[in-house]
Structure 1
């Protein structure tokens, strides 16, 4: 008796791997691909590819043409636009962070809101050996730390600020930070610009000394991102 080979299960990690294998089979110069070409490039059988492309079509990543061939769809363009926007944001943010770290000697970061957390998106670490060991991608709670307060600030509230937010020992008993909200085009929240360091070094008094340079950096960044509000922060 000839045993029928079972079709690969389309679930969990294996399913994600197969879907991505089909999606990444498209190369520069491909207008469309047929089942035979997709099978050759992915090593998957045609029936599996047909089932996987249904999911890709549902999410707008692939279109099935009238002749049965497949081409990348509009969602790929949208994701590319998101990626390009992220690169553009990095181009604006990273020089500001580097300049802040050079001038203050402390770690400079840009945090964004991520659900119930704040996520470190960009960061330039302090040259000091004693510093906070966080990296881009690390998440912290939306507590009462300076960065979280900045991320909760509306643009109307930001207009009335006279000082950056400052906190010490909130998320970490040994850490202090100073932060301001950053808005971009359309006065939309971009994130929170922050400098942070050991509480023993970044005291409230020292934060006051760094205040002018920090506020200028925040205002310049917001302006470069298209914010129409001319913040002076007192």
Structure 2
């Protein structure tokens, strides 16, 4: 029986660049790495690596085996799954955003809930010179803007909508937007499909003319994500298809 070695104490906070240096030392084909191998691959001293490994183990990125070697743990797999899911979502969302921006002449975005905020995850900007200047990754409050309203809509409510949410001046006094919630295969809220522009151009009357375009695009996107209940035609009051 292999005797487990004692674990070193952690003193201080490991710097991010050294943590990443250790994690990226693992290569395809590695099952586990010894301390000596990590020293050779990273150029860090043993005591530094041992301290880093304790932090990484505490956060679920590394498992220390009984023989003292280290292997990647479940948190790495979870982040990889998040990454793959994001890539897959992008494949579904981006073509619709390009289509929506072309059809409406305005900026089309996809927002997701991020704690107490909404985050712009994907975006296709309008070709107009006068437009809102936001980029993917930008945060906005969960206020009364159309996108925020869509991100609060439960499945039964969102699927019954016969026109998008509309807001004017909710976050920015000069901006207006229309939005619909987007649901996935398990009826989970995936995000919000948003068209935004200057309030002088995206009026409530203009939003009404874009209603069918928004509804059709949202249902196409949900169908591609495997969501049931999207067979209802645009412009109709819908009932959830279970």
TM-score greater than 0.5 by the shorter chain:
yes
- Please name the residue that 2:88 is paired with: 88
Aligned residues: 226
Deviation string 1:59-116 (CA, Å, 9 cap, x unpaired) is: 2212222332212122211211111000000000000000101111100000111111
Q: Give structure 1 stretches of 5+ with no counterpart.
A: 1-7
- 1:1-234 to structure 2, matched below 5 A, reads 10-11=12-13, 14-230=14-230, 232=234, 234=236
**Structure 2: which 5+ residue stretches go unaligned?**
1-9, 237-242
d(CA) in 1 for partners of 2:173 and 2:128?
19
Structure 1 window deviating more from structure 2 (163-172 vs 57-66): it is 57-66
Structure 1 segments of 4 or more deviating over 4 A?
none
Q: Distance in 1 between matches of 2:12 and 2:16?
A: 8
Is the 8 Å Cα contact of residues 101 and 107 (structure 2) preserved in structure 1?
A: yes
C-alpha deviation, 1:233, in angstroms? 5.5
Question: Could you tell me how far apart the structure 2 residues matched to 1:196 and 1:160 are?
Answer: 22
3-state DSSP of counterpart to 2:135:
coil
More moved, 146-155 vs 43-52: 43-52
TM-score (ref. length: structure 2): 0.88
Q: Distance in 1 between matches of 2:11 and 2:22?
A: 15
Q: Distance in 1 between matches of 2:78 and 2:160?
A: 36
> Structure 1 CA distance, aligned partners of 2:134 and 2:11?
39
Tell me how far apart the structure 2 counterparts of residues 38 and 127 of structure 1 sit (CA, whole Å).
50
> Contact 1:9 / 1:15 at 8 angstroms: preserved in 2?
no
For normalisation by structure 1, the TM-score amounts to: 0.91
- SS of equivalent to 1:163: coil
